[in-house]
Structure 1
């Protein structure tokens, strides 16, 4: 990892393609990736939680629209939405499916933050 990690964005980052996801995961120490769909009710429920985590934690929050990025979602083994993947130091360390309480997501992030 770089000595001066990039400043973590304070709002979720929309992922444009596979290489953009790889770039975000390698740029920040901890990244929580939300695979979501606009038509998904639970995805809408978790959105304010993710926005809060982007502001309150040291993790970058990335969002992948599974309808726009079906191949990427398939490569990541996403079968249901929302699926949340947590990366630390460039490696996937956790995966959860479905709406999660803010406290659980925050604890996952803090467990992998330095």
Structure 2
């Protein structure tokens, strides 16, 4: 991982730490702060717009499945309904990285083929798959880290 990504993650963590500390100082309970610590995952995939956006998404949610895809990729198109269902029906946030638009991000994620799926848990990459995957496999990976 690059130093720039590490610096950005550290900046986001420090910002969240300050926000949490302010909430506690202003009368918030520890339980309320802990419940608020991570956002609820959205029901639709998140289209990543840049490295900073990806870093924010990974920092914001407990479990993030990053789908590196290409519009011209047959297996990617085949997996689209599964990716959308995982976003709607699991506790994971699903982020989509268009490898043609964001070649540097795809490279940093280790996407040498499409689709490549990278699973993050607590801000760290914990699993990577290349090629079309069935829904059960992906749900199992998500549940393992949820």
TM range (shorter): over 0.9
Q: Where does residue 62 of structure 1 map in the other structure?
A: 95
How many pairs were matched up?
Answer: 113
Identify unmatched segments of 5+ residues in structure 1.
none
Instruction: Give the greater-gyration-radius structure (CA).
Output: 2
Distance 1:62 1:93 in 2: 15
> Quick check: which one's helix share is greater?
2
Identify unmatched segments of 5+ residues in structure 2.
1-12, 14-32
Q: CA deviation at 1:77?
A: 1.7
Q: Which has the higher contact order (CA 8 A, sep 6+)?
A: 1
CA RMSD of aligned residues (A): 1.2
Q: Where does residue 74 of structure 2 map in the other structure?
A: 41
> Quick check: which one's strand share is greater?
1
Q: Are 1:17 and 2:50 counterparts? A: yes
| CA distances 1:51-96 after superposition (whole Å, capped 9, x unpaired) | 0011110000000000000111112221000000000000000000
- TM-score, with structure 1 as normaliser: 0.96
Q: Give the ranges of 4+ consecutive aligned residues of structure 1 lying more than 3 Å apart after TM superposition.
A: none
Distance 1:6 1:20 in 2: 15
